Structure formats: C-alpha cells, structure tokens
C-alpha cells in the first residue's frame, strides 16, 4: 500500500501551515522512524513556472514552501529551494522569478537558501536528459507542486513538477515530441531525479486552461506522499481524473509505477472520506482536453489520423489588445512559429505544434486557446467581409 496524507487547510497562515506540515510528516513518518532528514541536505523543488504573484495560483505558494522548509529544518535538515523556470536559465532570471513570486522575502524570513546554481548534468541510462546539477547534488529531493490543470497533459502535479529539473529553454526541445513521447519523457525525468517525498499545494488550485492561464479554484486541501505517483493519483481523484485521463500517469501505470486507487492508504480517514471531504465534480478542464487531436497523434490509429488530420486540434492565439510584446513566447517556442511584429506577438498557425509553451510563459495572459475550426471560420468571414 502506498501511503497518502490528505489534510484540510483553508488559508496560507503560518500557524495553520506549520500544523499542516506536522500532520503530513506524522502520517508519512518523515523524520520519525521513516524518511530520515536529520543532517541531510534537502532540495525542495517548487513549481516556479514563471514570475507570478502567489495569489494567481500559478506557482507553489511561497508560504506553503516556507512551512515545508521550516518543518524540515526543525528536524535537523538544511534546506535549499529552487526550480528552473521557463526562459533563460541564468542567475538573473532566477532572481527575478524568486523576487516576483514572493520567494526571496520568505527565504529571508525563515532562513532557507534559494538556488542560483545554473550548472547542468546529464542523467539517464536509455534516453539521456540534461537536468540541473543542484537538484542531484542534494541528499534528498522533495517535490512541492501546485494542483493545476495543464493544456498538454490535462493535469500537472508531483510527477510533472520534476520536469522543472530540466534547465530553462531546454524544456522547449522536448515539446517537439508527440504527446505520448512527451509523457514518457516526464516519467523518465521523474525516475532519474527520484523525489523522496512529494507535496501538492491544493489550498488554492488552478482549473481551466492551466498551468498559467486558468482560473483560481479553492480546494482547501494539501496532499502528500513518499511516492509522486501516489500523490498525483490521490489529487487527480479529487478533481475527477483517473490514470487514463493524464498521459504521463498512463505511462507510469504501464511501467508499474503508479498504484491503483485501491492500493492507496489515505490518512487520516481513508480514500472515500478524502474524496467526500475534498472531491469536486465540476473542476474545469483545459479546452484542449477533448478537441486537440494533433497533440495526441501518438495515441491514434493511422486511420483516425488520416480522418481527422489537424482540423479538430486547438492552437494558441494572441489577443493583441492584451499582448505587451515582451517576446517570451517567441523565445520559448520550439517550432519557431512565433514572431513579434508591430509591438505584438504573431503565431503562424501552420507551423504551430500545439505544445502551448507560449501560453504557459505569457506574463500578460494574452494567449488564448482556440479550436482551429473557429480560426478558419473567422478567416473565412474576414475574407468574405473584405
């Protein structure tokens, strides 16, 4: 049985968060006869996709991470917090993200370190991957994820949080793969990094077109496990998703890494009680989930690929009235399908591979997800009116 701890917490109050972490640590035996942390160097891998204020629910809340760091330090660990956000993997970019997301302030207040190490190493025995050296140089890795939907993978949590160990713009190269290959890569990276414990901040989550352009959803829950797959399976159940709904979890299950729901030992009161207390039936999924066929071509029989082609897929579209012309989308695009012209970004639909990297990193939420069919109708109408 895989142990999972699911505890109610309704706000990012330091006292309540300290009690929350004590509860998780007690359930999972962290620092008390189970996972030893005394004298260990711990790297907390937060979800810091981009510079984003804590109240936007795009990043793991800094006070949640601060409480996790305090719980580890009080048990004798030394703690460093870090991530490799989208964009340039440099100390200056890390500093902007840490400061803009509230981490710099919390680190100074609570006395844990922030990683500015931008050195990279290679992991893997079959496929190999570049990952940040700071993660692997620690004694223990702890995942501190955010409960969010994801335009490409439907959901992102503990397992996909490990993709942040892949440095900066290197991530974009992996998005050139089809969805099945991308999912397989996520599991490979998680297995290479092997987090020793995983925490998911679901006090406020993100629904809709996540992981950065969705809307806030209050869930009042924190989920933790020594297994990232068990943590994700439990969190997914709360928002109505099963293993087969999330490609990387389907891949993990095929490899025998993901426990079935019946194999979860959920504390304090069991799986059914957890779902009854925190589960919701109306958690909004990404618009890409049902209509994006190009990105799932790795799962489709050839006959269906020919039948549907790319006509039912979705693609990112720039809302020029919101675009600030920063160029982050052009920098991250693995297909080089984005240009900044006339002070705003422009996406070449035919070159777009629907990886939604641009949607993830846009600081102005100026990129919408639109079915290609709507674009064709819009273009036809413009042509007719013109």
Give the three-state DSSP class for 130: strand
Q: What is the pLDDT of residue 125?
A: 79
What's the pLDDT tens digit per position in 276-325? 999 999 999 998 864 433 334 444 444 444 444 444 468 899 999 999 99
**Window from 85-94, 338-347, 348-357 with minimum mean pLDDT:** 348-357
Q: What is the pLDDT of residue 45?
A: 98
- CATH T-level topology, domain 288-385: Alpha-Beta Plaits (3.30.70)
Which residues is 4 bridged to in the sheet? 225, 266
Structure tokens at 1: 């049985």
Give the three-state DSSP class for 310: coil
Alpha-carbon distance of 35 to 12, in angstroms, equals: 26
Degrees (nearest 5) of the Cα angle 293, 379, 364?
A: 70
Would you say how long the chain is, in residues? 386
Domain ranges of the chain: 2-278, 288-385
Global pTM? 0.88
Q: What is the pLDDT of residue 291?
A: 41
- Which of 253, 259, 278 has the alpha carbon at shortest distance from 268? 278
Check residue 286 and report its DSSP letter: P
Helix boundaries (H) for the chain: 14-28, 62-73, 91-100, 103-110, 133-136, 158-161, 170-174, 179-193, 228-238, 247-254, 271-278, 288-291, 302-308, 328-332, 357-361, 372-385
Kindly state the average pLDDT of the residues 49-69: 98
Q: What is the pLDDT of residue 313?
A: 66
Q: What is the pLDDT of residue 295?
A: 39
Q: The domain 2-278: what is its CATH number?
A: 3.40.50
Kindly state the average pLDDT of the residues 321-343: 95
What is the per-residue DSSP string for 67-103? Answer: HHHHHHHTTT-EEEEE---SS--SHHHHHHHHHHTTH
Check residue 244 and report its DSSP letter: G
| pLDDT value at 176 more than 50 | yes
Q: Are 225 and 234 in contact (CB under 8 A)?
A: yes
Would you place residue 376 in the very low, low, confident or very high pLDDT band (cuts 50, 70, 90)?
Answer: low
| pLDDT value at 337 more than 60 | yes
The residue with greater pLDDT, 247 or 175, is 247
Q: What is the pLDDT of residue 308?
A: 41
Question: Rounded to 5, what percent of the chain is helix, strand, coil?
Answer: 40, 25, 40
The chain-wide mean pLDDT, for the chain, equals 91
The residue with greater pLDDT, 296 or 57, is 57
What's the pLDDT tens digit per position in 1-24? 999 999 999 999 999 999 999 999
In angstroms, the first-to-last Cα distance of the chain is 65
What's the pLDDT tens digit per position in 210-250? 999 999 999 999 999 999 999 999 999 999 999 999 999 99
What's the pLDDT tens digit per position in 102-154? 999 999 999 999 999 999 999 987 899 999 999 999 999 999 999 999 999 99
Q: What is the pLDDT of residue 306?
A: 43
| Burial (Cβ within 10 Å: 0-12, 13-18, ≥19) of residue 199 | buried
- Which of 17, 84, 85, 79 has the alpha carbon at shortest distance from 52? 85
C-alpha torsion sign, points 273, 280, 155, 363:
negative
């Amino acid at each position: 049985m895989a142990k999972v701890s699911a505890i109610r917490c309704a706000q990012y109050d330091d006292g309540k968060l300290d009690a929350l972490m004590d509860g998780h640590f007690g359930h999972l035996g962290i620092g008390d006869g189970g996972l030893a942390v005394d004298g260990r160097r711990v790297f907390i891998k937060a979800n810091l996709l981009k510079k984003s204020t804590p109240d936007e629910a795009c990043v793991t809340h800094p006070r949640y991470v601060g409480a996790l760091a305090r719980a580890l330090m009080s048990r004798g660990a030394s703690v460093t917090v870090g991530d490799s956000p989208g964009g340039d993997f440099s100390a200056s970019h890390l500093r902007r993200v840490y400061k803009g997301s509230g981490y710099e302030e919390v680190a100074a207040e609570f006395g844990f370190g922030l990683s500015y190490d931008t050195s990279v190493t290679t992991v893997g025995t079959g496929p190999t991957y570049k990952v940040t050296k700071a993660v692997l140089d620690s004694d223990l890795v702890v995942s501190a994820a955010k409960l969010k939907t994801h335009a490409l993978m439907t959901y992102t949590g503990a397992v996909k949080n490990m993709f942040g160990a892949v440095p900066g713009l290197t991530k974009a190269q992996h998005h050139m793969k089809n969805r099945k290959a991308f999912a397989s890569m996520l599991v490979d990276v998680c297995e290479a990094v092997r987090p020793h414990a995983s925490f998911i901040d679901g006090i406020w989550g993100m629904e809709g077109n996540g992981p950065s352009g969705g809307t806030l959803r209050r869930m009042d829950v924190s989920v933790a496990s020594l297994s990232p797959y068990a943590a994700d399976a439990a969190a997914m159940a709360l928002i109505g998703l099963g293993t087969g709904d999330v490609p990387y979890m389907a891949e993990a299950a095929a490899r025998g890494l993901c426990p079935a729901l019946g194999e979860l030992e959920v504390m304090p009161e069991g799986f059914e009680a957890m779902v009854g207390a925190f589960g919701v039936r109306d958690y909004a999924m990404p618009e890409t989930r049902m209509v994006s066929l190009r990105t799932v071509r790795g799962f489709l029989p050839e006959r269906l690929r020919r039948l549907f082609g790319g006509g039912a897929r979705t693609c990112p579209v720039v809302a020029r009235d919101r675009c600030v012309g920063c160029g982050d989308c052009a920098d991250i695009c693995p297909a080089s399908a984005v240009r900044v012209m006339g002070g705003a970004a422009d996406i070449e639909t035919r070159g777009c591979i629907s990886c939604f990297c641009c949607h993830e990193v846009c600081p102005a939420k100026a990129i919408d997800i639109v079915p290609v069919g709507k674009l064709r109708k819009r273009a036809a109408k413009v042509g007719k009116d013109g």
